[in-house]
């Protein structure tokens, strides 16, 4: 897998909902609690979408390295210094309402998509498979120090190496698979489905808040609000136990979609469970030149952005502002999909 080292690897890479509601109202947007009452559904695969209002927010992070070091002790300073692509923190306006899926795409929904569309997932089509968890696999014995075994044909969206039901978020799907799903839904329903932009994703994650997470700034709160690298998951990766979220969130691997509380917009699993592909190419210095209104990322690039963290993600990397990236062909047991549907006015 080619991507930024937000995974637990041994080698480092050289005022909340209430206030948020007021801010959205001042910006002319509907309050988050009102939006949750206006959910829409009925998509071909049984997805439920939440209408998010137009509005504005402050995107990115300007937290000093020393502040982060105090909040996330034990991390190499180079990891904290490597977060400079979250700056400068800047004002962004989302000028049009849009609908975002309440949950990440599930295994069952992806299976139905394949059966009805004829799409062949990239991990199957190219014959190289994906990555997966194996109890006796030891990252320390591998050249890359990767947390998972692969790339191997036995691993795919159907088999990430751990048990899943149809209600769990699908994994081992590429950016290309995600785009294929959106295009098929668009053609099937006569509506425009797509991946969110990076700005839309962070706007949706923050849901009017300004803290690191939907519950506030304390990393320990992740055990209650999302499925990230916790004490239970750390039993399978004891070398990284010191970086685990305090407490037990109830799941060692993926959790069923919606198992944790929704944010103020009514969206579940914006922190953890699986990373979510967005439409933007990654630009390390993009924030310094990004337009204020409805930014869509650089015109081109080599890797696509993914957001939100996963069930295997340390707390630092599950913050609303954190940016990660991979090639469009990447498939991994931590990476999934959440879609946007454009509003018809």
Greater confidence (36 vs 248) lies with: 248
Q: What is the pTM of this model?
A: 0.90
Say whether pLDDT at 21 is over 60: no
pLDDT of residue 123: 96
Q: pLDDT by residue (tens digit) across 47-95?
A: 999 999 999 999 999 999 999 999 999 899 999 999 999 999 999 999 9
3-state secondary structure labels for all residues of the chain: CCECCCCCCCCCCCCCHHHHHHHHHHCCCCCHHHHHCCCECCCCCCCCEEEECCEEEEECCCCCHHHHHHHCCCCCHHHHHCCHHHCCCEEEEECCCEEEECCCCEHHHHHHHHHHHCCCCHHHHCCCCEEECCCCCCHHHCCCCCCCEEEECCCECCECCCCCCCCCECCCCCHHHHHHHHHHHHHHHCCCEECCCHHHHHHHHHCCCCCCECCECCHHHHHHHCECCEHHHHCCCHHHHHHCECCCCCCCCCCCCCCCCCCCCCCCCCCECCEEEEEEECCCCHHHCCCCECCCCCCCCCCEEEECCCCCCCHHHHCCCCCEEECCCCCCCCEECCCEEECCC
Mean pLDDT throughout 221-229?
96
> Poorest-confidence range of 5-14, 261-270, 297-306, 318-327?
5-14
pLDDT of residue 283: 98
Say whether pLDDT at 245 is over 60: yes
CATH of region 17-342: 3.90.1580.10
């Amino acid at each position: 897998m080619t991507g930024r080292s937000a995974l637990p690897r041994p080698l480092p890479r050289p005022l909340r909902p209430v206030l948020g509601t007021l801010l959205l109202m001042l910006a002319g947007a509907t309050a988050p609690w009102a939006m949750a009452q206006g959910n829409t559904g009925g998509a071909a695969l049984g997805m439920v979408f939440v209408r998010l209002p137009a509005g504005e927010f402050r995107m990115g992070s300007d937290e000093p390295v020393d502040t982060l070091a105090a909040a996330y002790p034990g991390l190499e300073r180079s990891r904290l210094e490597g977060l400079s692509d979250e700056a400068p923190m800047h004002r962004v306006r989302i000028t049009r309402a849009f609908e975002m899926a309440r949950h990440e795409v599930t295994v069952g929904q992806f299976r139905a998509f394949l059966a009805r569309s004829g799409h062949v997932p990239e991990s199957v089509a190219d014959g190289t498979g994906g990555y997966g968890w194996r109890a006796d696999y030891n990252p320390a014995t591998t050249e890359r120090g990767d947390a998972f075994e692969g790339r191997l044909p036995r691993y795919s969206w159907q088999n990430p190496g751990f048990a899943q039901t149809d209600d769990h978020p699908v994994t081992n799907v590429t950016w290309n698979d995600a785009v294929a799903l959106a295009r098929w839904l668009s053609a099937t329903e006569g509506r425009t489905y797509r991946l969110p932009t990076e700005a839309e994703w962070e706007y949706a994650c923050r849901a009017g808040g300004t803290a690191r997470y939907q519950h506030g700034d304390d990393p320990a709160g992740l055990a209650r609000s999302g499925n990230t690298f916790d004490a239970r998951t750390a039993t399978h990766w004891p070398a990284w136990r010191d970086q685990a979220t305090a407490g037990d969130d109830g799941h060692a691997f993926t959790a069923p979609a919606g198992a944790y509380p929704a944010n103020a917009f009514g969206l579940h699993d914006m922190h953890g469970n699986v990373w979510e592909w967005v439409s933007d190419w990654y630009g390390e210095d993009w924030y310094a030149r990004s337009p204020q209104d409805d930014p869509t990322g650089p015109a081109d690039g080599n890797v696509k952005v993914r957001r939100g963290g996963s069930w295997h993600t340390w707390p630092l990397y599950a913050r609303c502002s954190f940016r990660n990236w991979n090639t469009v062909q990447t498939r991994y047991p931590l990476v999934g999909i959440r879609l946007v549907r454009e509003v018809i006015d």
